[in-house]
């Protein structure tokens, strides 16, 4: 695909185009990290729980995952630039709704739904617009800088959230996003549209099947902490004695299988599929997509757990939590930008494998450092390692996937890539949360049962009331609840001790799962190429 006539060629004009597209990527990634340090504050402000905000975060990435592939096709139908512009408008409306949200339902509408739909139009369009505005030899650097903008958003997100929450309000973050959207729309006029050879029809059946399959599967994972992974919790829905989570996940997989079968049928009928099945047989592309999935699963799991430890277990403010996460942010950004610049000919497979090892080592070190007497300083070295791993992966994977296909399929690949990353992010957040709650509940109830200071009647009541799940509470929150219940000093002290130990057990269990997931990713790196892609042009 050659850039259309009038596409920016002068460096200043090209800089404006790159700034616009990078700002769009920055904005999309920002929402995935900016509010994690303010979960407790947001929950209190809109009258919900930490689990409610976790659900909103997961739903945001889930909506993106569900509609990202159809969003790429919409761009091919109406034009990439128009899709990008409309997506920014929808996203801006969602940000404004979130900034003004009085309760969780309105927050879900603005943050999870409207912003998710806007992102599903924006992200695939960015991939195609880079190809349409830059000559082939300049595209790898442009893709790298756009990816670095996403890394930068993850890097500064916790700090932005911490400053806004501490000195102003978390709502100002979303109000600021509205201002960024306005700036992007002003600059969009400098972008040349990415030309398309044809105006495809949207495969509505495929769009419904893919969205339902991804949605049902991840919804099952999200409900696992409340319903149980396999054996149903008390009063949880079940079928044939098995938790509904299992059936939802199986139903999701079945729908995805039907989607793939339908796409193959369309190809046989010489009709246009939503996703060309040939793409899924591309070894390099599927290798890159698999790594994207594992990266975002571990990444978002870590970004959910570490702020909980700092803000809830240790009681740090949102600002101090953001500052403590900064080591991860800095090394992530440094690796994402410097590896391509200093090592332009390095083997992508080698960098990806080193990145996975850094993720594994960071999770393992943090797991070993967690202790009842540990402070906030223990997260520094693990976060440095995890940030290096994330940055190393970010520096390679975008070029790996985009270079695997011809230019005319770049938006289609962009849709699939962003669907996979957001699917990984959804599962990572939900998996970390469910493992955390399960281990926390088991540890807390065991601690209560083994403590002789607690009367048997209290033990029985705790077992019945908390069997479905113990909330992740700070000492201050639990102490307030115990005081309101009129609990004796001795029982309160025992409950506080059990809660402190259980919090750490929950965090350790979730971190162990993330570490094992990172290690599992190592077995899928063989499909990553050993040589750097030099052009997105294909025969």
Which SS3 state, helix, strand or coil, does residue 242 take? strand
Q: Which of 111-120, 157-166, 441-450 has the lowest mean pLDDT?
A: 441-450
Q: What is the pLDDT of residue 535?
A: 45
Residue 203 has pLDDT above 70, yes or no: yes
Distance (Å, rounded) from C-alpha 381 to C-alpha 217?
35
What is the per-residue pLDDT across 71-102, written as a single tens digit (0 to 9) for each? Answer: 877 877 777 788 888 999 999 999 999 888 88
Q: Which residue has the higher pLDDT, 132 or 349?
A: 349
How far, CA to CA in Å, does 400 sit from each of 167, 255, 459, 538? 42, 28, 56, 14
Cα 188 to its chain centre, rounded Å, is 26
Averaged pLDDT, 180-203: 74
Residue located via tokens 């702020």: 307
Residues composing the chain: 539
Residue 199's Cβ-count burial label (10 Å; 0-12, 13-18, 19+) is exposed
Q: Which residue has the higher pLDDT, 155 or 287?
A: 287
Dmax (CA) for the chain in angstroms is 81
Cα 447 to its chain centre, rounded Å, is 34
Q: What is the pLDDT of residue 68?
A: 82
Q: What percent of the chain has pLDDT over 90?
A: 14
Could you give the dihedral angle defined by the CA atoms of residues 369, 372, 374 and 380, in that order, rounded to the nearest 10 degrees? 50
Q: Which residue has the higher pLDDT, 385 or 44?
A: 385
How far, CA to CA in Å, does 133 sit from each of 10, 18, 20, 32, 81? 11, 9, 12, 28, 11
HSE value, Cβ hemisphere, 13 Å, CA-based, for 164: 24
Could you give the dihedral angle defined by the CA atoms of residues 19, 21, 23 and 27, in that order, rounded to the nearest 10 degrees? -170
Which SS3 state, helix, strand or coil, does residue 487 take? coil
Q: How confident is the model at residue 427 (pLDDT cuts 50, 70, 90)?
A: confident
Q: Which of 29-38, 138-147, 503-512 has the lowest mean pLDDT?
A: 138-147
**Which residue, 70, 67, 116, is CA-closest to 90?**
116
What is the per-residue pLDDT across 104-138, written as a single tens digit (0 to 9) for each? Answer: 888 888 888 899 899 888 888 887 787 667 765 56
Which SS3 state, helix, strand or coil, does residue 238 take? strand
What is the per-residue pLDDT across 269-284, written as a single tens digit (0 to 9) for each? Answer: 878 787 778 888 888 8
**Of 59-63, 184-188, 396-400, where does the model show the most confidence?**
184-188
**Of 89-93, 330-334, 396-400, where does the model show the most confidence?**
89-93
Q: What is the pLDDT of residue 135?
A: 65
Across the chain, what does the average pLDDT equal? Answer: 79
**Which residue, 175, 68, 183, is CA-closest to 117?**
68
């Amino acid at each position: 695909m050659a850039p259309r006539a009038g596409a920016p060629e002068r460096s200043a004009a090209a800089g404006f185009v790159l700034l616009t597209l990078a700002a769009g990527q920055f904005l999309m990634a920002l929402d995935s990290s900016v509010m994690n340090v303010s979960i407790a504050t947001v929950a209190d402000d809109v009258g919900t729980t930490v689990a409610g905000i976790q659900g909103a975060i997961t739903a945001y990435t889930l909506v993106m995952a569900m509609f990202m592939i159809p969003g790429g096709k919409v761009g091919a139908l109406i034009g990439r630039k128009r899709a990008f512009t409309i997506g920014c408008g929808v996203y801006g409306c969602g940000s404004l709704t979130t900034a003004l949200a009085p309760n969780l339902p309105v927050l879900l509408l603005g943050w999870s739904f409207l912003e998710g739909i806007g992102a599903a139009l924006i992200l695939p369009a960015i991939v195609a617009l880079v190809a349409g505005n830059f000559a082939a030899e300049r595209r790898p650097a442009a893709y790298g800088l756009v990816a670095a903008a996403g890394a930068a958003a993850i890097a500064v997100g916790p700090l932005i959230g911490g400053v806004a929450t501490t000195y102003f309000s978390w709502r100002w973050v979303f109000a600021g996003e509205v201002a960024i959207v306005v700036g992007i729309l002003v600059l969009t006029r400098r972008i040349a549209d990415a030309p398309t050879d044809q105006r495809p029809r949207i495969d509505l059946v495929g769009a419904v099947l893919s969205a339902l399959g991804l949605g049902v599967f991840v919804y099952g994972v999200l409900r696992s902490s409340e319903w149980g992974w396999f054996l149903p919790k008390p009063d949880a829905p079940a079928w044939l004695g098995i938790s509904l989570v299992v059936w939802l996940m199986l139903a999701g997989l079945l729908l995805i299988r039907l989607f793939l079968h339908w796409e193959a049928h369309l190809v046989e009928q010489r009709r246009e599929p939503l996703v060309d099945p040939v793409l899924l047989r591309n070894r390099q592309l599927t290798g890159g997509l698999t790594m994207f999935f594992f990266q975002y699963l571990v990444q978002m799991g870590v970004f959910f757990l570490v702020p909980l430890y700092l803000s809830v277990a240790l009681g740090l403010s949102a600002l101090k939590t953001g500052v403590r996460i900064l080591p991860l942010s800095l090394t992530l950004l440094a690796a994402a930008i410097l590896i391509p610049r200093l090592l332009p000919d390095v083997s992508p497979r080698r960098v990806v494998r080193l990145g996975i090892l850094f993720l594994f080592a960071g999770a393992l070190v943090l797991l070993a450092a967690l202790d009842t007497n540990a402070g906030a300083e223990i997260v520094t070295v693990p976060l440095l390692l995890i940030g290096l791993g994330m940055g190393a992966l970010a520096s390679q994977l975008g070029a790996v996937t985009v270079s695997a296909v011809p230019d005319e399929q770049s938006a289609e690949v962009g849709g699939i890539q962003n669907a996979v990353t957001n699917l990984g992010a959804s599962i990572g957040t939900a998996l970390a949360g469910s493992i955390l709650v399960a281990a926390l509940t088991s540890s807390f109830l065991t601690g209560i049962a083994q403590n002789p200071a607690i009367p048997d009647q209290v033990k029985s009541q705790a077992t019945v009331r908390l069997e479905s799940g113990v909330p992740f509470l700070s000492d201050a929150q639990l102490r307030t609840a115990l005081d309101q219940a009129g609990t004796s000093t001795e029982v309160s002290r025992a409950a506080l001790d059990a809660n402190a130990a259980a919090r750490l057990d929950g965090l350790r269990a979730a971190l162990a799962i993330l570490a094992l997931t990172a290690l599992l990713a190592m077995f899928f790196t063989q499909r990553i190429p050993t040589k750097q892609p030099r052009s997105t042009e294909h025969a």
